[in-house]
Amino acid sequence: MPTPDSMSVTLLDENDVERIVERMAKEIVERAGGVESLVLLGIHRRGVEISARIRTLIEREAGRDVAAGAIDITFYRDDLARIGPRPVVGESELPMDGIDDRTVVIVDDVFFTGRTARAAINELMDWGRPARILFCVLVDRDGRELPIRPDVVGRRLSVLPSQKVDVRVPEIDGQLAVCVSHAAGSAS
């Protein structure tokens, strides 16, 4: 990541993010109508980490295990021809007993164009037939290209198309924060 820190502004610090995640965990349980049939699926890579946080919170609250997994949408992207193949960062892992007839909550860090959500939903359809899919993101930013909206949103941010929103997680970036920077030429 070539962007120097000086060009990047921290919008949400660790405390902010933790508070937001707590609220998201509650909202997920509410909207899913309980934890029984719930499956949390994080999108590689940072979505997986946020999903893990949410899972811990829900499990603590509910006093029982919650099914979880991870999903890599690389093979479902629609821009292979345009950007070339991407390294596959992780395998998709689903709970042992599958996703059929369950409420699947897909968790990602940033909701931007909607293409990742489209890919993730397509991939889930190939895996099975969930009763319901909810999409949950830490940050929802401007720039939608598909008519898709997240169901559970941590924070909505109005940013310029040229701005880049980075969610940082300790497991990968060494800190928990949401930052905005001017991404010269790299709109992703």
Partner 1 sequence: MTPTLSSLGKDLVGLEDLSAAQIRTILDTAEPFKEISERRIKKVPVLRGKTIVNLFLEPSTRTRISFEFAEKRLSADTVNLTAEGSSVVKGETLVDTARNLEAMRIDMVVIRHGASGAARFLADRIPSNVVNAGDGAHEHPTQGLLDILTIRDHLGGVAGRRVCIVGDILHSRVARSNIFGLLKLGAEVAVCGPLTLLPLGIDALGVRVFRRVEDAIEWADVLNVLRLQLERMTAGFVPSLREYNRFYGISSRRLARAGKELLILHPGPMNRGVEIDSDVADSPYSVILGQVTNGVAVRMAVLYLLAGGAPEAAEAAKRRGVG
Q: Which parts of this chain interact with partner 1 (CB under 8 A)?
A: 1, 72, 74-77, 80-81, 83-92, 122-123, 126-128, 186, 188
Q: Shortest distance, CB of residue 50 to partner 1, whole angstroms?
A: 18
Q: ∠132-150-94 over CA atoms, to 5°?
A: 50
Q: Cβ–Cβ contacts within 10 Å for residue 42, how many?
A: 27
Rounded least distance, CB 157 to partner 1, Å: 20
Phi, psi dihedral angles at 178 (to 5 degrees) = -125, 125
Phi-psi region of 162 (alpha: psi -120 to 50; beta: other; left: phi over 0): alpha
Which is closer to partner 1, CB of 23 or CB of 114? Answer: 114
Residues near 144 by Cβ (< 8 Å), separated by ≥ 6? 112, 113, 114
Q: Can you give the length of the chain in residues? A: 188
Rounded to whole angstroms, how far apart are CA atoms 47 and 27? Answer: 17
Nearer to partner 1, 4 or 85 (CB): 85
Q: Supply the minimum distance, in Å, between the C-beta of residue 79 and partner 1.
A: 9
C-beta of 21 vs 113, nearer to partner 1: 113
Q: Residue 57 or residue 183: which is nearer to partner 1 going by CB?
A: 183
Q: How far is the CB of 160 from partner 1 (least distance, A)?
A: 19
Q: Which 3 state secondary structure label does DSSP give 98? A: coil
Residue 167 near residue 110, CB atoms below 8 Å? yes
In the complex, minimum distance from the CB of residue 91 to partner 1, in angstroms, rounded to a whole number = 5
When the beta carbons of 35 and 72 are compared against partner 1, the nearer one is 72
